[in-house]
């Protein structure tokens, strides 16, 4: 189809269904030019991490093939979005640019510049939503401020009827017919497989819209009923594992919400508890972006300013132990190895390893945030920042600083039989349950029988839990105002 196209700029919304931007472009009745722009030109601290780049490559391939099935081609380009869009407009005579809103701190300025350029050129520029259920501007406290506490925020969200239904994917589309130059997936240099640290990822993940839909269906068919309890057990597949799909917009929170409501209605009461807990987790994601929108420093600066003076330590040796899963604490090491091998970590274990880094090693939360940013396939500027601040005790509505996890007790509570540890730390698998979370307390003959030699086949603990706990509490006292409770 000829004529001046509308550019549909895919951002973090790599799907065809429930895509307001795409649907509006179809409804506009003009030829569509679908584009994805990879911006590697301004790599700041939060340039896309390695695991995310692996995922993005697969997701773009999936999106491209979905568009091909409708007769179109996804144009891939590299550079700053404004410049790339300007060139595309000039090349094609595009009459409009449609895109989905992003909520990263660096997106707002970019979106304004694009809108300004379109206005100056007399082009239509439209921004759509879909990445969140509730726009940050729509949820305000009674005194018209942003929320700083989760519970009232979630109550506000829950008091709103979500009546809108997810949009179906367009059944047919008219694409811009002329040839438009673009990069190949390889050109984007996202993940070339050397070294092949992501070798195990494809066994566990199916990036793309269809994979996301399948994950949601599997969760609602099998796991949501037990979600309340099972979500805390890392040895059980009790969570949805939708986080990377949500991050890349392969599925929308509205689609998750609507499908959950539908499952609740057809299950006649048996899954109400689990479904409600799942909905509250979706709202934690919303809350993270609410905070990020109003406090754009969230990824870098402690929300509670007194934490700027916290006496953190630098210890690159212990940091490396943590990153490599060699701390000597089995549940911590299991989590860090799951992360490295699969690009993902169970949420309960994320809290345990984060508490260990921030409190027992007393290494700044930003250091952990950065490691997660590079290694998680679901690395997300909103959730990652808000969650690290939550664990560190310096965030909005955070866990009190003195809430220090004991990795032995957490392991014994949530991985009672040690199945999770045995899977990810196989050199300990011969130990009896009694010592699986504290091998250094096992009698010598038990260690021998299990084939474990501490300091050789598995490290001794790199810190003393009691001493580091006391030191962390003492450090906290130095930043606390004397009159504060």
Question: How many amino acids of this chain bind DNA (CB under 7 A)?
Answer: 22
Retrieve residue 226's tokens. 């037990």
Residue of 60, 66, 125 lying closest to 94 (CA atoms) = 125
Shortest distance in whole angstroms from residue 407 CB to DNA: 8
Sheet holding 6-10, edge to edge: 75-78, 32-38, 6-10, 96-100, 124-128
Q: Which of 55, 322, 365, 424 is catalytic?
A: 365
Give, for 37, the enclosing helix (H) or strand (E).
strand 32-38
Residue from 107, 129, 406, 429 in contact with DNA (CB under 7 A): 406
**Between residues 16 and 223, which has the closer beta carbon with respect to DNA?**
223
Shortest distance in whole angstroms from residue 423 CB to DNA: 21
Tally of CB atoms within 10 A around 203? 9
Active site residue 284: yes
Stretch 332-371: interaction string toward DNA, x if CB under 7 A: ---------------xx--x--------------------
Cα torsion angle, 275, 347, 148, 133, sign? negative
Residue written as token pair 């994917």: 169
Tell me the C-alpha to C-alpha distance, in Å, between residue 465 and each of 77, 231, 401, 407, 428. 50, 26, 16, 9, 20
Contacts of 200 (CB under 8 A, 6+ apart): 341, 342
Q: Which of 111, 197, 257, 284 is catalytic?
A: 284
Given the rule CB under 7 A, which of 38-46, 315-323, 396-404, 422-430 is the region that contacts DNA? Answer: 396-404
Shortest distance in whole angstroms from residue 210 CB to DNA: 28
Residue from 404, 442, 450, 462 in contact with DNA (CB under 7 A): 404
Given the rule CB under 7 A, which of 15-23, 107-115, 179-187, 397-405 is the region that contacts DNA? Answer: 397-405
Residue 465 is a binding residue for DNA (CB under 7 A)? yes
| Burial of 250: CB neighbours in 10 Å, binned 0-12, 13-18, 19+ | buried
Whether a cis peptide bond, with omega within 30° of 0, leads into 41 is no
Q: Is 377:54 a contact under the CB 8 Å cutoff?
A: yes
Shortest distance in whole angstroms from residue 117 CB to DNA: 41
Residue 482 is a binding residue for DNA (CB under 7 A)? no
Residue 436 is a binding residue for DNA (CB under 7 A)? no
Shortest distance in whole angstroms from residue 282 CB to DNA: 11
Q: Which of 340, 347, 412, 427 is catalytic?
A: 347
**Between residues 14 and 398, which has the closer beta carbon with respect to DNA?**
398
Q: Is 315:363 a contact under the CB 8 Å cutoff?
A: yes
Residue 410 is a binding residue for DNA (CB under 7 A)? yes
Shortest distance in whole angstroms from residue 276 CB to DNA: 13
Contacts of 4 (CB under 8 A, 6+ apart): 30, 31, 92, 93, 94, 95
Residue from 403, 417, 434, 460 in contact with DNA (CB under 7 A): 403
Residue written as token pair 């911006």: 39
Shortest distance in whole angstroms from residue 331 CB to DNA: 10
Shortest distance in whole angstroms from residue 470 CB to DNA: 8
Say how many CA atoms lie within 13 Å of 192 toward its Cβ.
6
Active site residue 388: yes
Q: Is 458:328 a contact under the CB 8 Å cutoff?
A: yes
Residue 153 is a binding residue for DNA (CB under 7 A)? no
Q: Which of 111, 121, 135, 281 is catalytic?
A: 281
Residue from 399, 446, 475, 479 in contact with DNA (CB under 7 A): 399
Retrieve residue 39's tokens. 């911006």
Site for DNA in 215-234 (CB under 7 A): 232
Site for DNA in 258-287 (CB under 7 A): 281, 284
Residue from 44, 443, 466, 482 in contact with DNA (CB under 7 A): 466
Q: Give the 3-state secondary structure of residue 9.
A: strand
DSSP labels, 196-245: -TTTTHHHH---SHHHHHHHHHHIIIIIGGGHHHHTT-TTS--S---HHH
Given the rule CB under 7 A, which of 18-26, 90-98, 247-255, 466-474 is the region that contacts DNA? Answer: 466-474
Residue from 36, 99, 150, 219 in contact with DNA (CB under 7 A): 150
Tell me the C-alpha to C-alpha distance, in Å, between residue 205 and each of 67, 187, 306. 21, 23, 41
**Between residues 62 and 410, which has the closer beta carbon with respect to DNA?**
410
Shortest distance in whole angstroms from residue 405 CB to DNA: 5
Residue 473 is a binding residue for DNA (CB under 7 A)? yes
Active site residue 373: no
Active site residues: 281, 284, 312, 347, 365, 388
Site residues, DNA (CB under 7 A): 150, 232, 281, 284, 347-348, 351, 399-400, 402-406, 409-410, 413, 465-466, 469, 473, 477
């Amino acid at each position: 189809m000829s004529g001046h196209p509308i550019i549909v700029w895919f951002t973090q919304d790599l799907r065809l269904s429930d895509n307001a931007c795409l649907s509006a472009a179809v409804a506009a009745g003009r030829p569509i030019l679908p584009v994805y722009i990879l911006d590697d030109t301004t790599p700041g601290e939060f340039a896309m991490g390695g695991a995310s780049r692996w995922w993005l490559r697969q997701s773009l391939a999936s999106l491209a093939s979905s568009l091909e099935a409708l007769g179109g081609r996804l144009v891939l380009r590299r550079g700053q979005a404004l410049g790339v869009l300007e060139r595309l407009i000039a090349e094609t005579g595009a009459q409009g640019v449609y895109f989905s809103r992003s909520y990263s701190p660096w997106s707002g300025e970019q979106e304004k510049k694009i809108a300004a350029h379109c206005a100056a050129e007399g082009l239509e520029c439209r921004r759509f939503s879909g990445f969140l259920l509730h726009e940050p501007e729509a949820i305000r406290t009674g005194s018209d401020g942003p929320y700083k506490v989760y519970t009232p925020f979630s109550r506000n969200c829950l008091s709103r009827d979500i009546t809108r239904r997810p949009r179906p994917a367009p059944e047919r589309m008219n694409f811009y017919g002329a040839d438009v130059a673009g990069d190949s997936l390889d050109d984007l240099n996202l993940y070339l497989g050397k070294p092949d640290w992501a070798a195990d990822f494809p066994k566990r993940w199916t990036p793309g819209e269809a994979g996301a839909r399948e994950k949601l269906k599997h969760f609602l068919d099998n796991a949501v009923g037990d979600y309340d309890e099972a979500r805390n057990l890392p040895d059980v597949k009790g969570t949805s594992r939708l986080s990377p799909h949500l991050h890349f917009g392969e599925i929308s929170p509205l689609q998750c919400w609507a499908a959950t409501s539908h499952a609740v209605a057809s299950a006649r009461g048996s899954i109400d508890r689990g479904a409600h807990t799942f909905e509250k987790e979706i709202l934690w994601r919303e809350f993270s972006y609410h905070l990020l929108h109003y406090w754009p420093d969230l990824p870098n600066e402690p929300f509670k300013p007194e934490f700027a003076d916290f006496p953190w330590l630098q210890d690159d040796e212990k940091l490396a132990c943590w990153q490599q899963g060699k701390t000597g604490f089995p549940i911590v090491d299991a989590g860090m190895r799951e992360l490295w091998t699969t690009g993902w970590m169970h949420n309960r274990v994320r809290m345990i390893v984060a508490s260990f880094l921030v409190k027992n090693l007393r290494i700044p939360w930003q250091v952990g945030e950065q490691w997660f940013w590079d290694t998680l396939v679901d690395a997300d500027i909103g959730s990652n920042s808000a969650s690290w601040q939550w664990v560190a005790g310096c965030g909005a509505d955070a866990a009190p600083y003195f809430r220090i996890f004991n990795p032995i007790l957490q392991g014994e509570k949530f991985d009672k039989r040690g199945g999770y540890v045995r899977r990810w730390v196989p050199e300990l698998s011969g130990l009896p349950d009694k010592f699986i979370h504290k091998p250094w307390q096992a009698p010598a003959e038990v260690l021998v029988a299990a084939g474990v030699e501490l300091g050789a086949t598995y490290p001794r603990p790199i810190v003393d839990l009691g001493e580091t706990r006391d030191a962390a509490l003492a450090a906290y006292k130095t930043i606390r105002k004397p009159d504060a409770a």
